[in-house]
């Protein structure tokens, strides 16, 4: 336990693929201990495969289930003794290409439960642990997406939850001050992951056209998250936007 406590400890949700896997790998590469959380054990074990065994903890977690989240943070406390970082990353886009008026309520609820309620549950568990541990404090970084600012067509559930995450980030940043808990948000646009695989061939634009969009290396996102994570708790990146330079986001396309 004493040896492990000399290393900073992170929880990464959605760590089995995409941005979560890239961030977890970057933290592990640079000496962090990381609890890998996600719904499927197999992909989490693939993320952990190249890391030292004592640096990783794999915990199958559905972040929308309170009991799963409680079990995750209990396992982190029991294994590592403290928590320095939560990267609140788990999320889903929901059904693509479905007009708003045809969107099933169950699909809406699934996105809200994962993206927003899951982030709330994990942040609340992290808050409790960071407030009680000695030394007190830690950092939470929420994955907001550029959809926290600008929607894509047919993305009401995803966009609504990402806008809500911005409000959660601001509220938690304020509530965490007395306890040395720094809270920030990274808004990501077109990182090359499985979720964005189709963008190179064509994505639906606001004017109804289908057009290819540039993507960026997800490793650039991971390095940005690590920079935010390794700041002293006296400093905080409140909001960071990292995006493919040429994507249609700034200006009029």
251: left (phi over 0), alpha (psi -120 to 50) or beta: left
Contact 4, 80 (CB under 8 A): yes
Q: At what angle do helices 41-48 and 18-29 cross, to 10 degrees?
A: 30
29: left (phi over 0), alpha (psi -120 to 50) or beta: alpha
Beta-strand pair 203-204/210-211: antiparallel
Catalytic residues: 158
Q: What is the 3 state secondary structure string of 158-208? A: HHHHHHHHHHHHHHHHHHHHHHCEEEEEEEEECECCHHHHHHHCCEECCCC
């Amino acid at each position: 336990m004493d040896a492990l406590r000399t290393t900073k400890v992170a929880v990464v949700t959605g760590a089995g693929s995409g941005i979560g896997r890239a961030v977890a790998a970057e933290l592990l590469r640079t000496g962090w201990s990381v609890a890998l959380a996600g719904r499927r054990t197999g992909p989490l074990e693939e993320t952990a495969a190249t890391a030292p065994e004592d640096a990783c903890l794999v915990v199958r977690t559905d972040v929308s289930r309170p009991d799963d989240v409680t079990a995750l943070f209990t396992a982190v406390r029991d294994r590592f003794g403290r928590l320095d970082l939560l990267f609140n990353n788990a999320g889903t886009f929901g059904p693509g290409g479905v007009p708003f008026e045809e969107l099933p309520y169950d699909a809406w609820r699934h996105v809200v439960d994962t993206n927003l309620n899951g982030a709330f549950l994990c942040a609340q568990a992290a808050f409790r642990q960071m407030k009680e541990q000695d030394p007190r404090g830690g950092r939470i970084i929420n994955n907001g997406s550029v959809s926290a600012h600008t929607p894509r067509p047919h993305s009401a559930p995803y966009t609504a939850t990402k806008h809500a995450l911005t409000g959660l980030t601001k509220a938690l940043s304020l509530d965490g001050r007395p306890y040395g808990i720094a809270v920030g948000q990274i808004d990501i646009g077109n990182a090359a992951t499985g979720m964005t695989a189709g963008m190179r061939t064509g994505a639906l634009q606001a004017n109804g056209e289908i057009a290819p969009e540039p993507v960026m290396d997800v490793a650039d996102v991971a390095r940005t998250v690590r920079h935010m994570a390794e700041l002293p708790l006296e400093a905080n990146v409140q909001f960071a936007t990292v995006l493919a330079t040429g994507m249609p986001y700034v200006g009029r396309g």
